Structure 1
Amino acid sequence: MKQQSVWIPTQEQIEQSRLYKFMQKLNFKNWDDFYQYSISDVGRFWHDVAVDMGVIWNEDYNEVIQLDQGKAFPRWFVDGKLNITINCLDRYVEDSMRRNQLALIWEGEDGKSTKYSYRDLLYEVNRFAKLLLQMGIGPTDRVVIYLPMIAENVIAMLAIARIGAIAVPCFSGYKSVALQYRIKDCGAKAVITADGFWRRGKLIRMKDEVDKAIENTAIEKVVVVKKLGCYIEKNENTDIFWDTPVDQLPPAVPYIAEADETFMILYTSGTTSKPKGTVHTHAGFPIKAGFDAGYVMDVGIGDILFWSTDMGWMMGPWMVFGALMNGSTMLLYEGTPDYPTPDRLWSIVEKYGITHLGISPTIARSLMKHGESWLTTHDTSSLQVFGSAGEPWTEESWYWLFEQVGKKQIPIFNYAGGTEVSGGILGNILIKAQVPCGFNSFMPGMDADVLDPSGTSSTQTIGELVIRQPWVGMTKGIWNNKDRYMLSYWARWKDVWVHGDWVSKVDGHWYTHGRSDNTIKIGGARLGPAELESILIRHHAVLEACAIGVPHKEKGESVICFVILHHLSEVEDTSGLESELTQFVADKMGKMFRPKRVYFVPDLPKTKNGKILRSVVRATYLGEKLEDFSSLEKSKAVEAIKQCQKF
């Protein structure tokens, strides 16, 4: 059935949008013509974007894109030099009309708040940059950021970039094992953390997790933010407090980097092995995030962008650069959107006048169940655009956000891309009509397509989302693992990036259908099953493990695990062992990733070379037909999983 457009922009809304004004500068009035221009010569397009954004170069580039090493390894803005923090801070502070404009608002779960102007933020970034230099941190050194959503998180990221070091943001909910893997993989020299923070009224001790995580690593220094003032075990050899005086130290001069020098490593999930450290550059991630936010989501001067996320997920850094590259304001909220009462999110919107609000479908579903009474007591008239990313929508929750919250007047900027992309591949362009749950276009500059198994463009069935040409913001690779990068994205079809999402196109709109590579999405956060399975196998009772994601009404997906025990016959209390294993995962990975169930099975479906067939496990458990593995239907492993359905 054809979907009817439920939000249609007025001509005035179209003409006032930054995207349309950009199109006009380039002599385009028709969206389709503009999009074709954006992918017909990607070098010319991204040059036009950089010019219109006013990117400041310390040394200009001589060539926009160079493909000497192939599409998988493009060089962007060749010979150009810059420091991205100059583009995010200095240029506004040097403008007397803008230096005192709000750059960052922070609110804690306890209601406390702090505001920073662009001048304030630059001062704090310079102060912390001096401390980093005093600690011996320099260009290319990796610094892990393990902090809650507090202002120091943003300050640290910018200060690290300012001195030419490499920031490695990590999810604040990780336990020591997950954190240690990332510390070791990137070879980090320092960690920035806090003593702790409050989440749903419960004290979360971060420094304790760091102390365990840095054992047997190359970490030399741990910077501690005394956020709560709670007791911590201080190591005199490694620990240094965030507020250590630096007044007598020389100023931190911005490091002028090559355009393609690394400034950040963001970890995403792997499905058949460990998490991947995606590499991002000074002239990559910030420009892509800034363009998507400023031109497509229409974030500009005077706007306040608030995306409910964590700095360890892509949308955290995206919010930072999406706001600062456009001279707007970001809001960081440390708590959960429904604590202590279900109207917390709407009270923040009212209190600060949020204009652009980003929430996942999971958050929408969790707030929807509380009813509209928590919403109607707040003035949300400041809202101009909703943002959504991380997982597919259900129609019920999409309509609730659009009709009950937005009163059918506010468009939903549905946005799909990934950590490796620095932003979006699919989006809801605000100058085109929108349908429920869908996307109305590929993003400008993204030469994307949907392919069937033969590699042919498909509009009739669900297919693989791919990209045919490089783009600004494309990951430079996977940290220290070129082979894995090529295998993950470039191995299936020659010179084609395979993103790993199932997508379909119906009547001119696109729809996502989850991951094609088994990645589990919980509340918008991505988890590679291999990472969780590796935790389970560490338990003395577990021989093998398989983790899958299954539909969950509120969270999008929940985790179900199947394990083979070393000696099943010796286990007298399986329910007790199940509880022990779910807690074991929560202790190592964080509560968010606690499995809903752990089943004990004698065998698991595998390929001839021993690879566990997660797709078969998932389909069997959900009662779906095994189209591609019909020969396995009566195998003992499949039968054992079918039995799990009964409990």
Structure 2
Amino acid sequence: MNDVESPEAYVWQPGPDYLGDSPMARVVRRMGARTPEDLYEISIAEPERYWSATMAELDIRWSVPYREFVDLSNGPEWPRWFVGGRMNIVDSALTKWADTRADADALVCNDEVGRSRTVAFGVLADMVGAAAASFRARGVVPGERVAIFAPMCVETAVAYLGALAVGAVVVPLFSGYGSGPVRTRLRDSEASVLVTADGFHRRGRLVPMKDIADVAVAGAPTVGTVVVIGHAGVETTGQQVAGRDVGWDRFMADGAGGDASILPMDPNDPALIIYTSGTTGRPKGTVHYHAGVGLKMAADLTQLTDLDVGCVSIHWSDFGWIVGPGLLLANLIAGATSVVFSGAPDHPGPEQVWRLVEESRATHLWLPPTLVRRLRSTTASVLPDFDLSSLKVLCSTGEAWDAETYRWYSSAVGGDRLPISNYAGGTEIAGGILGCVLSRPIRAGSFNTAVPGMAAAVVDEDGNPVTGRVGELAVAKPFVGMTQGFWGAPERYIETYWSQIPGLWVHGDWAERDADGYWYIRGRSDDTIKVSGKRIGPGEIESAATAHPGVVEAAAVGVPDPSRGSAVVLFVVPDGGAATVSGDAVGESLRAVLEPSSVPVAVHVVPDLPHTRTGKLMRRVVRAVYLGLDPGDLSGLEDPGTIERIALAVAADARAGASR
């Protein structure tokens, strides 16, 4: 710890013996290091030694040991890891627990209508073996793509792990997609099998997944098999197509007595193609491999959040995004229980979140800042009704925090006794760049470390490291977990991450590192607003806005301005329990705390803001609605009605202004 740090600045501090026998402490000892800070430095200088110790601690299984840690002969953009080895990540997630955790809970699946189902490690392993045999019985071979368009349920996990076990490449698809986005991704990946469900409930309504899938598959000629999970128990409007459609029970029975083995793979063989949305053009199919997906996230979370054997981790991510399949594998590798949820976590009310914590005796709770903001305005009256004493760590990822929400979460939910382990990375990383090691004090909204193995830096436009001011978040060396590129579009991958500053992975986040070594994410760099030649991040403005007692959420965007290039326009969502909030009052409060170039030229009060279902704020959509532009890909949008509500609010403000 730096001597100049002020204890008053911390929202959490560890006790004198906090490391104890934590996973981080065990890796520190394996490395012969003294502290987690020493371990980080070794992980950058000697990555092979770090990963050897980490894999030994995680008991990563190898069918054939690797002979070379990494081959960089094709350049840093295209590393090949663990050359000469053979492995399948499913062995490290399930097989290794056969003797020690067969009866322990591996997976608990809950849904919005109150159903819950628990599966033990041993039962899950048997189900995955049966699924592997069934995929083989239907002719699925290594490298073939199996798409999964289904809610977070037991069968989804079994299909995922069973497909990986036979060497297939899994294509997770967001459960909120319409038929168009599903069709696009099926065609792009050339999937031959689609696993879907009859439907699931979200915010009180049925999402008819099979009907959506039928329309999508009609335009995806490579799909020859559609496996249908009877999750919601509802009739679908489409017809069962003979020779193509098969129910889940029939599918599982087809492999009875067949080959249930787990196939050893080259560690660089693709395991997942996870699509991310863009503003325009073809979706990016991010390719991950057996020795990256699961391994990277398991290493991060065991070392940064004390995830360990017997822990219980709740997360709300959809299977279609990296946190869904990634965290499931990470928890299994760590020997922890995954508690997942199908539906909206705050429907019919915020008590859904806290009831699940109490009932599962969760140790780790994952909540994105956007969901915490919603809970902050609705949950105060119900929190005392639930026992949250099992919690050890509050985990967060997805976007930047505002100070007010962070402090509420720390105090109201954490009781000022729990660390908030902030974690930032991305789909293309299969884990994190920045995090919080629990042996060091934490400041509000901060990351107190770069993740071990990640040579992270904040750099200026020339790639020079900067301290105490905002720059681009970059990674200076290739790392285990980094994508093998975009499916069918290698040039687009190079353009996205490696072309801005030669030799550096530029992640697209605007970040800052202070003199004490604490890191802060200031928003996406493509959300940056340039006013009179000065770059302004939306995070600072939004944080100042939510400090207003009547504002629960905010979005700052840049719009064209003839004299300054761009100007800031702010959109705020009023706190449901507050008196009426006016844009003028919020703007006046901001003038007192922001420098003049950051003060919005207009503040619009809107009912809500557009988010992805994982909680990320879609500022580009807000800007497009304000300017009357094409908002781009909206396939991941939680509530399309938000767009019209923002447009109506802006129009009403314009009419009010004209009448003054």
User: Per the shorter chain, which TM-score range?
Assistant: 0.7 to 0.9
Secondary structure of the equivalent of 2:432? strand
Q: Go from structure 1 to structure 2 and tell me whether the alpha carbon gap of 1:552 and 1:316 turns closer, same or farther (over 3 Å shift).
A: farther
Counterpart residue number, 1:228 = 232
Q: Go from structure 1 to structure 2 and tell me whether the alpha carbon gap of 1:111 and 1:518 turns closer, same or farther (over 3 Å shift).
A: same
Aligned residue among 32, 36, 45 for 2:37: 32
- Residue identity opposite 2:229 in structure 1: V
Whole-Å separation in 1 of the counterparts to 2:115 and 2:474: 44
Counterpart residue number, 2:421 = 413
Q: Does 1:58 align with 2:95?
A: no
Structure 1 residue 249 displacement after superposition: 4.1
Q: Does 1:189 align with 2:251?
A: no
Matches of residues 555-634 of structure 1 in structure 2 within 5 Å? 556-557=617-618, 559-560=621-622, 562=624, 591-597=638-644
Aligned residue among 509, 522, 526 for 1:517: 526
Structure 1: stretches of 5+ with no match in the other structure: 520-547, 566-573, 601-620, 623-639
- Residue identity opposite 1:419 in structure 2: T
CA contact (8 A) 2:40 2:452 kept: yes
Counterpart residue number, 2:264 = 256
Whole-Å separation in 2 of the counterparts to 1:276 and 1:646: 42
Aligned pair count? 565
Counterpart residue number, 2:101 = 98
- Residue identity opposite 2:155 in structure 1: E
Counterpart residue number, 2:210 = 207
CA contact (8 A) 1:449 1:467 kept: yes
Counterpart residue number, 1:158 = 161
Structure 1 residue 20 displacement after superposition: 2.0
Secondary structure of the equivalent of 2:275? strand
Q: Go from structure 1 to structure 2 and tell me whether the alpha carbon gap of 1:597 and 1:340 turns closer, same or farther (over 3 Å shift).
A: closer
Moved >6 Å (runs of 4+): 642-647
Whole-Å separation in 1 of the counterparts to 2:347 and 2:177: 21
Whole-Å separation in 1 of the counterparts to 2:318 and 2:571: 23
Whole-Å separation in 2 of the counterparts to 1:176 and 1:517: 29
Q: Does 1:8 align with 2:13?
A: yes
Structure 1 residue 47 displacement after superposition: 2.1
CA contact (8 A) 2:400 2:521 kept: yes
Secondary structure of the equivalent of 2:465? coil
Aligned residue among 75, 84, 95 for 2:89: 84
Q: Go from structure 1 to structure 2 and tell me whether the alpha carbon gap of 1:281 and 1:405 turns closer, same or farther (over 3 Å shift).
A: same
Aligned residue among 484, 489, 493 for 2:492: 484
Structure 1 residue 269 displacement after superposition: 2.6
Q: Go from structure 1 to structure 2 and tell me whether the alpha carbon gap of 1:508 and 1:564 turns closer, same or farther (over 3 Å shift).
A: closer
Instruction: Select between 231-240 and 217-226 the one with higher mean Cα deviation.
Output: 231-240
Q: Does 1:107 align with 2:110?
A: yes
- Residue identity opposite 1:215 in structure 2: A
Whole-Å separation in 2 of the counterparts to 1:438 and 1:248: 51
Matches of residues 117-196 of structure 1 in structure 2 within 5 Å? 117-196=120-199
Structure 1 residue 363 displacement after superposition: 0.8
User: How big is each residue's C-alpha offset from its partner over 1:3-38, in whole Å with a ceiling of 9 and x where there is no partner?
Assistant: 701211012222232212211222222333221111
Aligned residue among 324, 329, 344 for 2:337: 329
Structure 1 residue 252 displacement after superposition: 2.2
Counterpart residue number, 1:243 = 249
Q: Does 1:41 align with 2:31?
A: no
Whole-Å separation in 1 of the counterparts to 2:321 and 2:235: 29
- Residue identity opposite 1:27 in structure 2: G
CA contact (8 A) 1:20 1:29 kept: no
Whole-Å separation in 1 of the counterparts to 2:285 and 2:426: 13
Matches of residues 271-310 of structure 1 in structure 2 within 5 Å? 271-310=279-318
Q: Go from structure 1 to structure 2 and tell me whether the alpha carbon gap of 1:551 and 1:169 turns closer, same or farther (over 3 Å shift).
A: farther
Whole-Å separation in 1 of the counterparts to 2:412 and 2:618: 25
- Residue identity opposite 2:11 in structure 1: V
CA contact (8 A) 1:39 1:446 kept: yes
CA contact (8 A) 1:549 1:557 kept: no
Structure 1 residue 229 displacement after superposition: 2.2
TM-score (norm 1): 0.82
Instruction: Select between 439-448 and 230-239 the one with higher mean Cα deviation.
Output: 230-239
Structure 1 residue 564 displacement after superposition: 13
Structure 1 residue 396 displacement after superposition: 1.2
CA contact (8 A) 1:65 1:77 kept: yes
- Residue identity opposite 1:99 in structure 2: A
Structure 1 residue 595 displacement after superposition: 5.0
Counterpart residue number, 1:446 = 454
Whole-Å separation in 2 of the counterparts to 1:208 and 1:139: 29
TM-score (norm 2): 0.81
Structure 1 residue 557 displacement after superposition: 4.2
Q: Does 1:21 align with 2:26?
A: yes
Aligned residue among 494, 514, 517 for 1:508: 517
Identity %: 34
Q: Go from structure 1 to structure 2 and tell me whether the alpha carbon gap of 1:322 and 1:564 turns closer, same or farther (over 3 Å shift).
A: closer
User: How big is each residue's C-alpha offset from its partner over 1:45-102, in whole Å with a ceiling of 9 and x where there is no partner?
Assistant: 2222122222111000001111111111111110110111111111111x1x321111
Structure 1 residue 248 displacement after superposition: 4.0
Whole-Å separation in 2 of the counterparts to 1:563 and 1:320: 36
CA contact (8 A) 2:313 2:362 kept: yes
Whole-Å separation in 2 of the counterparts to 1:382 and 1:155: 28
Secondary structure of the equivalent of 1:431? coil
- Residue identity opposite 2:180 in structure 1: V
Q: Go from structure 1 to structure 2 and tell me whether the alpha carbon gap of 1:593 and 1:432 turns closer, same or farther (over 3 Å shift).
A: farther
Whole-Å separation in 1 of the counterparts to 2:89 and 2:14: 34
User: How big is each residue's C-alpha offset from its partner over 1:181-222, in whole Å with a ceiling of 9 and x where there is no partner?
Assistant: 111111111111100111122111001111111123111111
Q: CA RMSD in A?
A: 2.9
CA contact (8 A) 1:196 1:204 kept: yes
Instruction: Select between 337-346 and 430-439 the one with higher mean Cα deviation.
Output: 337-346
User: How big is each residue's C-alpha offset from its partner over 1:526-546, in whole Å with a ceiling of 9 and x where there is no partner?
Assistant: xxxxxxxxxxxxxxxxxxxxx
Whole-Å separation in 1 of the counterparts to 2:149 and 2:88: 23
